[in-house]
Amino acid sequence: MSLNKSLIERDLAVLWHPCTQMKDHESLPLIPIKRGYGSYLEDFDGNKYLDAISSWWVNLFGHSNPYINSKLIEQVQNLEHVLLAGFSHENAIRLAERLIKIAPKNLTKVFYADNGSSGIEVALKMSFHFHKNRGEIKPLFISLENSYHGETMGALSVGDVSLYKEVYNEIIIKSIQTPVPKDQRLESIYEPLQKLKELLEKHKNNVSAIILEPIVQCAGSMHMYNSEYIKEVKKLTEEYKIHLIFDEVATGFGRTGKMFASEYAEVSPDFMVLSKGLTGGYLPLSAVLLTDDIYREFYCDYGSGKSFLHSHSYTGNPLACAVANASLDIFENENILEIIQPKIKLLTELLEKFKNLKNVYNVRQTGLIGAIELKNYKLEDRIGLKVYKYGLEHGVLLRPLGNIIYFMPPLSISESEIHEMVQVGFDAISSLNK
Amino acid sequence: MSLNKSLIERDLAVLWHPCTQMKDHESLPLIPIKRGYGSYLEDFDGNKYLDAISSWWVNLFGHSNPYINSKLIEQVQNLEHVLLAGFSHENAIRLAERLIKIAPKNLTKVFYADNGSSGIEVALKMSFHFHKNRGEIKPLFISLENSYHGETMGALSVGDVSLYKEVYNEIIIKSIQTPVPKDQRLESIYEPLQKLKELLEKHKNNVSAIILEPIVQCAGSMHMYNSEYIKEVKKLTEEYKIHLIFDEVATGFGRTGKMFASEYAEVSPDFMVLSKGLTGGYLPLSAVLLTDDIYREFYCDYGSGKSFLHSHSYTGNPLACAVANASLDIFENENILEIIQPKIKLLTELLEKFKNLKNVYNVRQTGLIGAIELKNYKLEDRIGLKVYKYGLEHGVLLRPLGNIIYFMPPLSISESEIHEMVQVGFDAISSLNK
């Protein structure tokens, strides 16, 4: 029996995989990975796969990156973990300093958590608690239609992808969704803004915050919209005295061509939530950046009962903070935000030819995120699954979102790897017409 | 300026610590840790602290353990991460196999998440979803009074420590709390069982699951209760066809003297949630173990809409799984569950003398968890804070829960370190009388 096959059997006997209908694996290949290097993953039978989705949008500088590895090894030999309540360590401090330095202005404090969902929960709880500390009960949150903010019940409640949310409606709190601009054109922002104003007017005393993914709703079919919308939302949040939360879990750390997607709007939120690429794709960690205004509202005598007592055991884990700092080192030392610009241009050029395919509805791109939306397929065709299989058979890991084929490779991807990745995507989509 | 002091200044300028009123740090020392080894943490000025609380109940085999380090280093040089949807890796498979082997019987599948809270959310969502797949809407969960299950909104909603929960009442779902037996005596289980029966009779068609921390409610003042209660709860969950969820996030992995606390009751739940010690205290990871009955209810054609599509980007992270396997290696190779028995006995002996202190209300112990409850202090006295400071000044990290001084050291603690730890705890409590 091949090594792959033996591991697959063992796997299917004990594991329930995330975001997976396990019955699919009766026909779909499950792939046990032995090692990773650069943009590639290699299975136990020696097959290689170009990781065109950065292993769920986390990897930035290639798998098993020697520099990041060296920093992890250095850290573990000194300190693997210490609780962050009452205690601290250098990598947690240094990471917070650096995040604040590169973040939109006015974000001056960092609260750590373990994953994107937990980070979103911190922001939501803190925003609600802030208003409560001021004597106001504002139990509503507004989010965009088609948004995705994670899977724990608070994060899920502000999401709007029905595939993940609908079945749990009875066990999550109610939130309000407002229309997202329907495309990247400036003119598509006005109607949604009007709707948002009406919502705010109606609920103004009950809303703690608006949460949004700036310019790209990744899990929401890689939907992209104009950054001017965010500028206007910022004005509204100021007018109505509610918080603005940016979920940059997926869009942060260079994916969009800038360090943070919100830079396109030149807007500072009250909260910014980071995860995924934060550790270069190594370890779960999230960081919630927030303003001094918020921090000060909680800063008072313990007896006042206004403390934010949220915690996770591994908050600010030294190993995760060490690799996050190593990842920021690479951004600085290798001028990553400049180096990726020609790659982004190349992707733009290569995406052109998809527009001529008769089953392509729309091609869109922001930075190193490229998405191709197919048309004339029904959900039950599971066309994405066919593209996924085609990709694997041809050495490229694509994981379409329904009818959306997308690329979100590591920032370290080479130009020739971009060619390979896009060509296999093109062939996969073309093959559907045959 | 001392290195400590310089780091403290940098820290307080940028970090918001978990479960902390930051104003406390105007007088309370914040301690930057440089390195850890064995049971000790060492700060940048060379002061050492015996970690009597295993850094929030996570560390099992000492800080920066050479064997676990070696396994982490081995893993990172091969594969730092790969998404677990459609893909797998050997350490995730092997860990699941081993957890199933040591877990209560009938737990045959493993679903990974990133921290205790996320693991609890998986169990709650899966339980609710299970019933919904069968056509039943059961939006209620029952948990024990004084319970703690985490901080994300779903996990928080089934907790009952008002310090963490009360302020968020308007943004979490309602759940039902049932009395916990008031102490470890067998006779204290009957009244709570009667109450639980009444609750179940009243809500029987609306309850998905009962969730509990077996025999020790750690964050709930280290409250301990008789394992017979759990046996009876198990019978009730079978009678009323609802799920039983064991939260062994804090109690798992030897803390109670057995691998899992539920072994005292010899009861198999429908779900068991593990985290904290799962990775030996190195990295955030959680595992939800569940029965074949549950797994099969979701196993069907994708089109049926019954899939459990929960995910976190770092689900089953290879680095976290590698250290978790290394930790299980140590359990096996070093016969840990036998080796800790004399340490538990020693702790029992040493706890005796606390009973003579006039400010001690109660002394209780389960395995290597020992707790001393003080009396005649008011909450606003913040007596725990005084003990915490005393401990630090005398080289022992104690972090009382209000009026409860407790010990939960690494399993690898030596007998002389137990003497040191308990003596400082004793002196701290004695000093309060002066």
pLDDT one-digit tens code per residue, A37-67: 999 999 999 999 999 999 999 999 999 999 9
Does residue A50 lie in a domain region? Answer: yes
Name the minimum distance, in Å, from the CA of A94 to any CA of chain B.
8
Helices and strands (H and E) in chain B: how many: 14, 17
Answer for the pair B67, B282: CB distance below 8 angstroms, yes or no: no
Residue where a domain stops, chosen among B285, B304, B333: B333
Same-domain check for residues A233 and A344: no
Residue of B nearest to A149 (CA): B312
* Range of the structural domain that residue A130 is part of: 70-333
Does residue B170 lie in a domain region? Answer: yes
Name the minimum distance, in Å, from the CA of B337 to any CA of chain A.
23
CB-based contact B80 A96, cutoff 8 Å: no
Per-residue pLDDT, averaged over A400-414, amounts to: 97
Name the minimum distance, in Å, from the CA of B186 to any CA of chain A.
32
Question: Which of B313, B110, B205 shows the shortest CA–CA distance to A22?
Answer: B110
Q: What residues of A are in contact with residue B294 (Cβ under 8 Å)?
A: none
Question: Which of B312, B261, B325 shows the shortest CA–CA distance to B118?
Answer: B312
| pLDDT for the residue A1 | 78
Residue where a domain stops, chosen among B333, B348, B366: B333
Name the minimum distance, in Å, from the CA of B188 to any CA of chain A.
32
CB-based contact B275 A20, cutoff 8 Å: no
Residue where a domain stops, chosen among B333, B351, B384: B333
User: Residue with structure tokens 């409640």?
Assistant: A157
Does residue A19 lie in a domain region? Answer: no
Per-residue pLDDT, averaged over B68-80, amounts to: 98
Q: What residues of A are in contact with residue B115 (Cβ under 8 Å)?
A: 114-115, 118, 284, 312-314
Answer for the pair A34, A44: CB distance below 8 angstroms, yes or no: yes
Residue of A nearest to B7 (CA): A90
Same-domain check for residues A153 and A185: yes
Per-residue pLDDT, averaged over A355-377, amounts to: 97
Q: Can you tell me the distance from the alpha carbon of A216 to that of B409, in angstroms, rounded to the nearest whole number?
A: 46
Q: What residues of A are in contact with residue B73 (Cβ under 8 Å)?
A: 73, 76
Name the minimum distance, in Å, from the CA of B355 to any CA of chain A.
29
pLDDT of B379 higher than 90? no
Q: What is the separation, in whole angstroms, between the first and last Cα of chain A? A: 34
Q: Can you tell me the distance from the alpha carbon of A309 to that of B130, in angstroms, rounded to the nearest whole number?
A: 33
pLDDT of B28 higher than 80? yes
Per-residue pLDDT, averaged over A269-291, amounts to: 98
The pairing of strands B176-178 and A87-88 is: unpaired
Q: What residues of A are in contact with residue B313 (Cβ under 8 Å)?
A: 55-58, 115-116, 275-276, 284
| pLDDT for the residue A305 | 86
Interface test with A, best of B151, B161, B162, B386 (most A CBs within 10 A): B151
Answer for the pair A399, A387: CB distance below 8 angstroms, yes or no: no
- Specify the CATH number for the domain of residue A219: 3.40.640.10
Same-domain check for residues B137 and B188: yes
Q: Can you tell me the distance from the alpha carbon of A390 to that of A394, in angstroms, rounded to the nearest whole number?
A: 6
pLDDT confidence of A352, banded at 50, 70, 90?
A: very high
Please report the sign of the dihedral spanned by the C-alpha atoms of residue B90, residue B92, residue B96, residue B102.
positive
CB-based contact A86 B388, cutoff 8 Å: yes
Phi-psi region of B216 (alpha: psi -120 to 50; beta: other; left: phi over 0): beta
| pLDDT for the residue B433 | 79
CB-based contact B63 A80, cutoff 8 Å: yes
Per-residue pLDDT, averaged over B335-356, amounts to: 98
Same-domain check for residues A173 and A273: yes
Does residue B113 lie in a domain region? Answer: yes
Name the minimum distance, in Å, from the CA of A137 to any CA of chain B.
8
Same-domain check for residues B155 and B230: yes
Q: Can you tell me the distance from the alpha carbon of B312 to that of A25, in angstroms, rounded to the nearest whole number?
A: 20
The pairing of strands A31-37 and B87-88 is: parallel
pLDDT above 90: percentage of residues in chain A: 96
CB-based contact B170 A10, cutoff 8 Å: no
Q: How far is CA B307 from CA A41, A402, B96, B125, in A?
A: 27, 15, 21, 12
User: Residue with structure tokens 């250098």?
Assistant: A90
Greatest pairwise CA separation for chain A in angstroms: 71
Per-residue pLDDT, averaged over A79-104, amounts to: 98
| pLDDT for the residue A433 | 80
For A32, the closest of B64, B69, B88 (CB atoms) is: B88
Same-domain check for residues A343 and A195: no
Report the number of distinct structural domains present in chain A: 2
Does residue A14 lie in a domain region? Answer: no
For B312, the closest of A65, A100, A115 (CB atoms) is: A115
Please enumerate in sequence order all residues whose Cβ is within 8 A of that of A240, keeping only pairs 6 or more positions apart, or say none. A200, A204, A207
| pLDDT for the residue A310 | 97
| pLDDT for the residue A156 | 97
User: Residue with structure tokens 């004339």?
Assistant: A376
Does residue B1 lie in a domain region? Answer: no
CB-based contact B168 A125, cutoff 8 Å: yes
Interface test with A, best of B28, B153, B205, B304 (most A CBs within 10 A): B153
Q: Can you tell me the distance from the alpha carbon of B57 to that of B218, in angstroms, rounded to the nearest whole number?
A: 9
Q: Can you tell me the distance from the alpha carbon of A242 to that of A128, in angstroms, rounded to the nearest whole number?
A: 10
Same-domain check for residues A253 and A352: no
pLDDT of B434 higher than 80? no
Same-domain check for residues B313 and B296: yes
pLDDT of A83 higher than 80? yes
CB-based contact B81 A299, cutoff 8 Å: no
pLDDT confidence of A4, banded at 50, 70, 90?
A: very high
Q: Rounded to the nearest 10 degrees, how much is the dihedral formed by the CA atoms of B154, B155, B160, B164?
A: -90
Q: What is the separation, in whole angstroms, between the first and last Cα of chain B? A: 34
Residue B163: phi and psi, rounded to 5, are: -55, -35
Same-domain check for residues B50 and B145: no
pLDDT of B158 higher than 90? yes
Per-residue pLDDT, averaged over B232-256, amounts to: 98
pLDDT of A3 higher than 80? yes
- Specify the CATH number for the domain of residue B393: 3.90.1150.10
Name the minimum distance, in Å, from the CA of A367 to any CA of chain B.
21
- The mean predicted confidence, pLDDT, of chain B is 97
pLDDT confidence of B380, banded at 50, 70, 90?
A: confident
| pLDDT for the residue A202 | 97
Same-domain check for residues A327 and A344: no
Q: How far is CA B200 from CA A245, B1, B55, B206, B265, in A?
A: 41, 62, 38, 9, 21
Per-residue pLDDT, averaged over A298-316, amounts to: 95
Same-domain check for residues A229 and A378: no
Q: What residues of A are in contact with residue B305 (Cβ under 8 Å)?
A: 167
Per-residue pLDDT, averaged over A192-209, amounts to: 97
Helices B66-78 and A66-78 meet at what angle, rounded to 10? 170
Does residue B15 lie in a domain region? Answer: no
Strand partners for A243: A209
| pLDDT for the residue B43 | 98
Both structure tokens of A423: 């060509």
pLDDT confidence of B103, banded at 50, 70, 90?
A: very high
Strand partners for A217: A223
Does residue A40 lie in a domain region? Answer: yes
CB-based contact A15 B109, cutoff 8 Å: yes
pLDDT single digits (tens) A203-242: 989 999 999 999 999 999 999 999 999 999 999 999 999 9
pLDDT confidence of A380, banded at 50, 70, 90?
A: confident
pLDDT single digits (tens) B395-417: 999 999 999 999 999 999 999 99
A 10 A CB-CB count for A292 gives 12
Name the minimum distance, in Å, from the CA of B383 to any CA of chain A.
13
For B84, the closest of A17, A111, A172 (CB atoms) is: A17
Both structure tokens of B306: 């019954």
| pLDDT for the residue B31 | 98
Answer for the pair A175, A128: CB distance below 8 angstroms, yes or no: no
Identify the burial level of B201 via C-beta atoms within 10 angstroms of its C-beta, where 0-12 means exposed, 13-18 middle and 19 or more buried: exposed
| pLDDT for the residue A294 | 98
Q: Can you tell me the distance from the alpha carbon of A366 to that of A258, in angstroms, rounded to the nearest whole number?
A: 10
Residue A369: phi and psi, rounded to 5, are: -105, 115
Same-domain check for residues A119 and A256: yes
| pLDDT for the residue A330 | 98
